[in-house]
Structure 1
Amino acid sequence: MDLAPDLGCTSRAGLNWLLHRAAQKLGAVAQEAAVRHGITTRGQIVLSALASEEFQRTQLALGHALGVDKTTLTAELDRLERAGLIMRKPDPNDRRVRVPVITEQGRVVQREVEKLHVQVEREFTAGLEPAEAHALRELLERLIAVDHGPDSGSCM
């Protein structure tokens, strides 16, 4: 049974709604890709941050860098640690502080999910010309980089 589109929802053209709806659609498919490897999109973001670090960060510094509150990050790190994808080691400068470190298994999962996410993005933008997809990414990066007030957002 085909249902007519909800014009009350699809007719909204505000930029906030458009960006949010696009992010929801892309996020849902990206989440499915991550779940295939036993993690969430949040877990993938944490693993990617840990995999790309040239130096180790404390949990507090990692949370700040990702724009995530302590409770949310701790819960995600707990899940990743139980799955064997990260370890939390004592900070050599302050043994009360923990430093999350990605494990080799975590690196494998992170790379596999990253490949899936690249494919998901490619499929999501398949209706655009390559130059349009590139322009979209550049425009979004510029909008994010401009200081429009407090940065209360999170990448998770």
Structure 2
Amino acid sequence: MNTSSPSASRTAATPPASPRGAAPHRADRRLIIAAIIVLVGAVTPWIDTVGGNVLGVQGGGLYTLSAGGIGLAGAFIRRRGLALAHALVLAITPLAIGGWQVARLVAIGCDFRVCAPSFGLVLTLIGGFLAALATRQLLARADPAS
């Protein structure tokens, strides 16, 4: 005689994996790395001049610093749409502000003997590029056809 009830067999089965407990996807790890790179790039020198360094947070780096925090939070969000929105902010902001800063240096005719882009600006642009790649991976993962 079988003493197991149908409800006992249902509870013995493994519960379905919840999205919160899912292992981080490669895009999530890339988003974390991109956010950290953007955060570091925002507080380091963006421009080297003969008069000294200009830090990123003395100008547009404040926006990239905020975007880095938003992107870091987005890496831990399991709702795909919300995580994608955070990733887009992290991708667009550093690329737009970093690109604007480089274009401004070119527009004012900055000679490399007088002023030059520094490693903080380069880190910010690299972080934005990595965030764009992570955003693309999140889009591919969110696509129901894949």
Q: Shared fold by TM > 0.5?
A: no
Relative contact order (C-alpha < 8 Å, sep 6+): which is higher?
2
TM-score (norm 2): 0.28
Q: Which structure shows the bigger proportion of residues in helix conformation?
A: 2
